[in-house]
Structure 1
Amino acid sequence: MTLQAKLDAFKADFEAGKPPYNVPPSVIETMHRATAELIASGAAARALRAGDTAPAFTLYDPDHQLVSSTDLLAKGPLVISFYRGVWCPYCNMELQALQGALPEFEALGASLVAISPQTAANSRKSVRQNSIGFPILSDPHNDVAAAFGLRFELPDYLVDLYKSLKNDLPAFNGDPSWTLPMPARYVVGQDGTILYAEVNPDYTRRPEPEDMLPALRRAATTVAA
C-alpha cells in the first residue's frame, strides 16, 4: 500500500468518527476550514522550490549533537522532511515510509533528516515510536522552516480547537508561539541547489518517498561525472 493510500484510509476512519477517534463533525469542519484557508493564502507557492538555493542550517539532534547541512552535503545529496510533530499521525506515517525508503536513499549516497519544531524529548519519542534510523532535528521557533518559506501561524479558532483537544503546541515545542511548518519534502544537491521540492498546505497529502529517487539519481550521476 502506498503512503498516500495509508493516509487516506486513516483520514476516512478519523473523519467518520470511528473508534477510537470518536471525533465530532464540528472538529472536522474546523480542520477543513483551516486547511482551505491555508491553501487559499498561496503560502505554498511562496516556499522555496526546485532551482532555488537551500538555506544552510545547523541544528541539534535528539541527543543534543549539532548536525550541519554543510557537513551532510559534503558527503552527498540531502533529503529533508519537515515534520510537524509526534502528535501528528499523518507525519508519523510519513516518517515510517521514509524509513522504508532509507536504504535506497543511502545506496545513492544521500543522507536523510527530518526537521521539526518539537523539543528533543519529543523527537526521541518520535524516533522510538516510529522505529526510524535517521535524525529528527529540533528547529526552535520554526526558524529554518521560515527560511524555506514554510512557517505559518495557526489562526485563533484553530488554536482554540487544539487547546480543547489537549494538543498543546507550546508544550510540545517549548515555544509560546503557535506556528507550524507546512509539510514539505526537499532533495538538495551537493552544491546547495534544490533538486526536488514538494510543499502541500493540506497536511493529509504527502508525496511518496519514491518520488525523490529520480532527483537523487541525477545528483549521483552529476557527482560521478
Structure 2
Amino acid sequence: MTLQAKLDAFKADFEAGKPPYSVPPSVIETMHRATAELIASNAAGLALKAGDKAPAFILNDSDGRAISSASLLASGPLILSFYRGVWCPYCNMELQALQESLSSFHALGASVAAISPQNPVNSRKSVRQNALDFPILSDTHNEVAAAFGLRFALPDYLVALYEDLKNDLPGFNGDNSWTLPMPARYVIGQDGIILYAEVNPDYTRRPEPSDMLPALRRFAAPEKIHLP
C-alpha cells in the first residue's frame, strides 16, 4: 500500500469516527476550514522550490547534539522532511515510510533528516515510536521552516480548538507562538541547490518516498551509487 493510501484510509476512519476515534463533526469542519484557508492563501507558492538555494542551518538532534546542514551534505545529497510533530498521525506515517525507503536512499548516496518545531524530548519520542535510523532535528520557533518559506501561524479559532482538544503545542514545542511548518519534502544537492521540492498546505497529503528517486538518480555521482 502506498503512503498516500495509508493516509487516506486513516483520514476516512478518523473523520467517520470509527473506534478508537470519536470526533464531533464540528471539529472536522474546523480542521477542513483551516486547511482550505491555508491553501487559498497561496502560502505554499511562496516556499522554496527546486532550483533555489537551501538555507544553511544548525539544529540540535534528539540527543541535544548540534547538527549542521553542511555536515549532513558532506557525504551526499540530503533528503529533508519538515513535519508538524509526534502528535500528528499523518506525520508519523510519513516518517515510517521514509524509514522503510532508507536503504534505497542510501544506495544513491543520500542521507535523510527530519525537522519539526518540537523539543528534543518529543523528538526522541518520534525516533522511538517510529523506530527511526535518521535524525530528528528541533527547529525552535520554526526559524528554519520560516527560512524555507514554510512557517505559518494557526488562526485563532484553530488555536481554540487545539486547546479544547488538549493538543498543547506550546508544551510540545517549548514555544508559545502557535506556529507550524507546512509539511514539506526537499532533496538538496551537495552544492546546496534544491533538486526536488514538494510542499502541501494540506497536512493529509504527502509525497511518496519513491517520488524523490528520479532526482537522486539524476544528480547522484556514479561513485556514490551502491548497487545491491
Q: Give the TM-score category using the shorter length.
A: over 0.9
- Tell me how far 1:219 sits from its aligned partner: 1.8
Aligned to 1:94: 94
Equivalent position SS for 2:112: strand
- CA RMSD between the two structures: 1.0
For residues 50 and 192 of structure 2, the distance between their equivalents in structure 1, rounded to whole angstroms, comes to: 11
Equivalent position SS for 1:197: strand
Structure 2 residue 84 is the aligned partner of structure 1 residue 84: yes
- Tell me how far 1:74 sits from its aligned partner: 1.6
For residues 67 and 222 of structure 1, the distance between their equivalents in structure 2, rounded to whole angstroms, comes to: 27
Aligned to 1:147: 147
With 214-223 and 43-52 compared, the bigger mean Cα shift is at 214-223
| Equivalenced residues, count | 224
Equivalent position SS for 1:35: helix
Percent identical? 79
For residues 137 and 216 of structure 1, the distance between their equivalents in structure 2, rounded to whole angstroms, comes to: 22
For residues 123 and 219 of structure 2, the distance between their equivalents in structure 1, rounded to whole angstroms, comes to: 29
For residues 8-157 of structure 1, the aligned pairs below 5 Å read 8-157=8-157
With 71-80 and 177-186 compared, the bigger mean Cα shift is at 71-80
Give the residue type in structure 2 aligned to 1:164: D
- Tell me how far 1:83 sits from its aligned partner: 1.2
- Tell me how far 1:18 sits from its aligned partner: 0.9
For residues 52 and 3 of structure 2, the distance between their equivalents in structure 1, rounded to whole angstroms, comes to: 27
Q: Structure 1, residues 127-160: CA drift from partner, whole Å, max 9, x if none?
A: 1011111010000000000000000000000000
For residues 201 and 150 of structure 1, the distance between their equivalents in structure 2, rounded to whole angstroms, comes to: 9
> Runs of 4 or more off by more than 4 Å in structure 1?
none
Structure 2 residue 10 is the aligned partner of structure 1 residue 2: no
TM-score (norm 1): 0.98
Residues 222 and 148 (structure 1 numbering): CA distance in 2 closer, same or farther, change over 3 Å? farther
For residues 119 and 139 of structure 2, the distance between their equivalents in structure 1, rounded to whole angstroms, comes to: 8
For residues 61 and 130 of structure 1, the distance between their equivalents in structure 2, rounded to whole angstroms, comes to: 16
Give the residue type in structure 2 aligned to 1:18: K
- Tell me how far 1:221 sits from its aligned partner: 3.7
Give the residue type in structure 2 aligned to 1:158: L
- Tell me how far 1:222 sits from its aligned partner: 7.4
- Tell me how far 1:116 sits from its aligned partner: 0.5
Give the residue type in structure 2 aligned to 1:117: P
For residues 155 and 197 of structure 1, the distance between their equivalents in structure 2, rounded to whole angstroms, comes to: 26
For residues 89 and 35 of structure 2, the distance between their equivalents in structure 1, rounded to whole angstroms, comes to: 16
With 137-146 and 215-224 compared, the bigger mean Cα shift is at 215-224
Task: Show structure 2 runs of 5+ residues with no match.
Answer: none
For residues 223 and 45 of structure 1, the distance between their equivalents in structure 2, rounded to whole angstroms, comes to: 36
